[in-house]
Structure 1
Amino acid sequence: MAISLPRIPDRSIHANGREYLYFGGTAYLGLQSYTPFKKLFLKNVERYGMHYGASRRSNVALDIYQQAEGHLAHWVGSEACLTMSSGYLAAQLVIQHLLHKGHTLFAAPNAHTAMLMNGVTRTHSFKELNLALEQQVSNKGPMPVLLFDTIDFTAKQYPHFEALQQLPLDKIMLVGDDSHGIGIVGDQGKGCYGLLQKLNPAQMLVCCSLGKGLGIQAGAVFGDEEIIETLKTTPFYGGASPALPAFMGTLIDAETLYVERLTTLMENYQWFLGSLDQSQYFQHMKGHPTFEFENASLAQELEDRGFIVTNFNYPDANGPLVSRIVLSAYHKKEDVQQLVHCLNTLLT
């Protein structure tokens, strides 16, 4: 049963009559309750209001959207960017457009549920995926498309993307979901766009939620200017309400905060990894502040000792159990010390 809370969790949770240290969720930079970040958001609410209830294709446009998208594109290193009100919608926009254009879409193993819509062919191994892509390439139709998570928590993608490099990248289009990467990994937290570019795929798009790393309730799509402009002409894009303009303003204003919080997160990460006796016990991607495990009893043992970690069936009740320790910038060094001491005791 889920723990019911009256507010967004921070480094600690009060439940069942006691306080727990919280090492779960996806608030990697710990921004949702961070006072300097909230002040920036409230300043932008005062400037832009709560909601802009119009199409982005309207004859009246707020310039903050173009400014924020230009800021994001420059930061990530893409020619262009568009934003939606969520990462889920950003992925759906891309997939529906490509299906409409007649592309055959394949989902890599462990692709996010946002990508697994009708019309997408799921694959269960990279061997199966490679065979399917080669066959589709030989059919001489529209370029096949591969949908995948840049951070898929199996260590088969980030940071080296070995599995992708075995595929016919020069003949396919990559669409990566970087929701768990942007703001966290890559050079200065720029995510995986630049890393994927170095693989030289025939074409590429990266979509993501901006909520996990950057604390912004919105989604984004990065790519070449031509395809981004084409996506903006679609009914899906035109019919969807945009993200809050105050979030777009905060995204720009928080640039310095993002750098500071990422530095804190990486300090917590290095201390945790360097002090953990049994790091091989966890499935871990170098540079990413998450540590997965398959021992169903460990999460309960941690809870009994005052720690709550991610531990639920995903994406639904019939899905696999996801057990994951998540480090955040809101953790204090003593929080990490307590967790490491507990893990070192339990895993001896």
Structure 2
Amino acid sequence: MAHSVQRIPDREIVIDGKPNLYFGGTAYLGLQNHTPFKELYLNNVTKYGMHYGASRKSNVALDIYEAAESYLANWVGSASCLTMSSGYLAAQLVVHHLLEKGHPVIAAPHAHTALLINGVKTASDMDELVQFTSEEIARNQQIPVILFDTIDFSGQQFPNFEGLRQLPLNKVILVGDDSHGIGIVGDNGNGCYSMLKALQPAKLLVCCSLGKALGIQAGAVFGDHEDIKLLEGTSFYGGASPASPAFMATLLEAKDLFSERLETLKNNYRLFKSQLKNPSFFDHIDGHPTFEFQNDEVASDLNKDGFVFTNFNYPDENGPRVSRLVLSAYHKKEDIQKLVASVNTLTD
């Protein structure tokens, strides 16, 4: 059931006049309604305006984009970076480009829909992914591309990437969507790029939304200088409006806020896990603040106890019903304790 609300969800959400604790969405660092973060953004709106109405390939270049992209590349450990107005567009840019170059493109199970455009071959399971990859390598044509989500909620990727390790990585291009990793996993939240680079694929590109953990309405692509330069030369990149410059400036100025909120999130995560009596009830990726389950009765009882959380058919109405508890930095200690007490009672 969809709930219509009148304001951005925070730790508390009012439905039918009744307050509920909210454990859904993807605002992992709880920045979307965090006053210090909003103040940074509003100051930058005053300086940069609401939108930059020009192509990034224009003969006039706003320097905040280069500064933000240099910061992001240094942070995640890539040689270079470009930004787009959304994570969805960033993913589409990469996949369109590789298909146009003639590469066979194969999607791993659970890859995000942003990666799945016409021309992409989708594997139903890891065995089929290995088979498809071996067949493309044997054809001795263009090097195959493997699309995947770094955090795919199946446990096959982050933190050890067992699924990818089944592939001849030195013979493939990896394209990872790190939208659920950037800002919360890795070294001070810098995501999965360095972990994937350590696997030594033939090439690596990582795209992501900056709008989940980081609260920045934009997308990014990370890779080598040459690959990013090629992407910047495409009509796809040149024809798309850029991200808001106010958000780019806020990204640069919110470094301390990101670190502070990440520490709060980690404390909430440790508290929830330490008090959870039946952790096997959940599908959970160690180190990630999401706890997924499939039990309509427990979901209904949690709602009755005053909790609203992710609970809908994904990625479309034909997909499975996903119930997912999402911990955020905006939750207070007592929120976590109340949730875990209810979960322990219902799953005992």
Q: TM-score normalised by the shorter chain: which range applies?
A: over 0.9
The one-letter amino acid of 1:18's match is K
Tell me the distance in 2 between the aligned counterparts of 1:101 and 1:17.
55
Tell me the distance in 2 between the aligned counterparts of 1:297 and 1:144.
44
State the partner residue of 1:206.
206
Structure 1 segment 1-348 matched on structure 2, within 5 A: 1-348=1-348
Deviations 1:28-65 (A, max 9, x none): 00000000000000111011011101000000110000
Q: Does the Cα contact within 8 Å between 1:19 and 1:306 map onto a contact in 2?
A: yes
Residue 213 of structure 1 aligns to a residue in which SS?
coil
Tell me the distance in 1 between the aligned counterparts of 2:103 and 2:235.
18
Tell me the distance in 2 between the aligned counterparts of 1:91 and 1:12.
32
Tell me the distance in 1 between the aligned counterparts of 2:198 and 2:296.
38
Q: Does the Cα contact within 8 Å between 1:73 and 1:81 map onto a contact in 2?
A: yes
Tell me the distance in 1 between the aligned counterparts of 2:319 and 2:85.
27
Q: Does the Cα contact within 8 Å between 1:3 and 1:15 map onto a contact in 2?
A: yes
Q: CA deviation at 1:294?
A: 1.1
The one-letter amino acid of 1:198's match is A
Deviations 1:168-204 (A, max 9, x none): 1010000000000000101110000000011000100
Identity of aligned residues (%): 63
The one-letter amino acid of 2:11's match is R
Deviations 1:75-125 (A, max 9, x none): 000000000000000000000000000000000001001111100001011
Residue 29 of structure 2 aligns to a residue in which SS?
coil
Residue 211 of structure 1 aligns to a residue in which SS?
coil
The one-letter amino acid of 2:32's match is Q
Q: CA deviation at 1:315?
A: 1.5
Q: CA deviation at 1:16?
A: 1.6
Deviations 1:291-348 (A, max 9, x none): 0001122211100110011000111111111110000000000000000010111111
| Runs of 4+ residues deviating >4 angstroms | none
Q: Which runs of 5+ in 2 are unaligned?
A: none
Q: CA deviation at 1:138?
A: 1.1
Q: Which runs of 5+ in 1 are unaligned?
A: none
Tell me the distance in 2 between the aligned counterparts of 1:95 and 1:213.
24
Q: Does the Cα contact within 8 Å between 1:299 and 1:308 map onto a contact in 2?
A: no
Tell me the distance in 2 between the aligned counterparts of 1:297 and 1:154.
22
The one-letter amino acid of 2:171's match is K
Q: How large is the Cα RMSD of the aligned pairs?
A: 0.6
Q: Does the Cα contact within 8 Å between 1:268 and 1:328 map onto a contact in 2?
A: yes
Tell me the distance in 2 between the aligned counterparts of 1:166 and 1:31.
37
Q: Does the Cα contact within 8 Å between 1:87 and 1:207 map onto a contact in 2?
A: yes
The one-letter amino acid of 2:231's match is L
Tell me the distance in 1 between the aligned counterparts of 2:214 and 2:262.
10
Deviations 1:202-224 (A, max 9, x none): 10000000000110000000000
Q: CA deviation at 1:17?
A: 2.2
The one-letter amino acid of 1:125's match is D
The one-letter amino acid of 1:319's match is G
Q: CA deviation at 1:131?
A: 0.9
Tell me the distance in 1 between the aligned counterparts of 2:204 and 2:343.
41
Deviations 1:260-281 (A, max 9, x none): 0000000000000000101111
Tell me the distance in 1 between the aligned counterparts of 2:52 and 2:298.
46
The one-letter amino acid of 1:160's match is N
Q: Does the Cα contact within 8 Å between 1:313 and 1:319 map onto a contact in 2?
A: yes
Residue 64 of structure 2 aligns to a residue in which SS?
helix
Deviations 1:4-36 (A, max 9, x none): 011110001011221100000000000000000
Tell me the distance in 2 between the aligned counterparts of 1:126 and 1:3.
36
The one-letter amino acid of 2:192's match is C
Tell me the distance in 2 between the aligned counterparts of 1:94 and 1:135.
23
Residue 93 of structure 1 aligns to a residue in which SS?
helix
